[in-house]
Amino acid sequence: MSNHIDDGTHLGDDDMAFEALRELEQQTPDEIKMRRASSRVTIKSKVILQPGNSSDALKLKLRGVTGNISNTGFGAVFPIPIGAGDIYRLQFDSTQVDLPMVFARCMSCSMVDENAFSAGFKFFTEIDVSRVVKQAAQESMLV
C-alpha cells in the first residue's frame, strides 16, 4: 500500500513528461512565430498599467512602452516586474492605438535589464488591430 499523496506537483506519467520535454526542445523562435494565431504590428506606444480590481487601482500606476500588438494581445516593457497571471487595466496612447481602456492578463514577464522588464499580455476579447492601430504604425506591419 502506498502512502503517496498526489499534491499536483508532478506530471504523473513518464511518457507525458517525455513528450512535454520533446515539445519544449522544438520551440525555436521561428517555430513560435509560425504558430501565432494572428499577425503582430511593431509599434512603440505609451501604455499606462493599473491593477484590474477597482479597489486596487490607486495602488499602482506604471507607464510602459509597447513593442508589438496583435488581435489577441501585446508586449510591453515596464520599469518593474509585472505579476504573471495577474489581470491589469491598460490605457494606450490614443495618438498611436485607438482603444478605450482594456483589461488583459499578464502571461509572462522577464528581466531585460536592471530597470526593464518585458511583459506579454493576452486580451480577454480579440480586437481588430487593423482598426485600432493608427496609420503611421501600420506601415511597419509584420506577418
- What are the boundaries of each domain within the chain? 37-138
Report residue 122: phi and psi, to 5°.
Answer: -120, 125
Q: What is the pLDDT of residue 135?
A: 53
- Distance from C-alpha of 45 to C-alpha of 96, rounded to nearest angstrom: 6
DSSP 55: G
> Residue 40 in contact with residue 142, Cβ under 8 Å?
yes
**Could you tell me the CA-to-CA distances from 60 to 63, 78, 96, 138 in Å, in that order?**
10, 12, 23, 31
What tens digit of pLDDT does each residue of 15-72 get? 777 777 777 777 766 655 545 445 778 888 999 999 999 888 889 999 999 999 999 9
pTM listed for this prediction: 0.68
68 in Cβ contact with 29 (< 8 Å) = no
Three cell numbers written together for 20: 512535454
All cell numbers assigned to 59: 495602488
**Which one has a higher pLDDT value, 49 or 100?**
49
pLDDT at 143 over 50: no
Q: Class of 37-138 per CATH? A: mainly beta
Average pLDDT rounded to a whole number, residues 83-101: 92
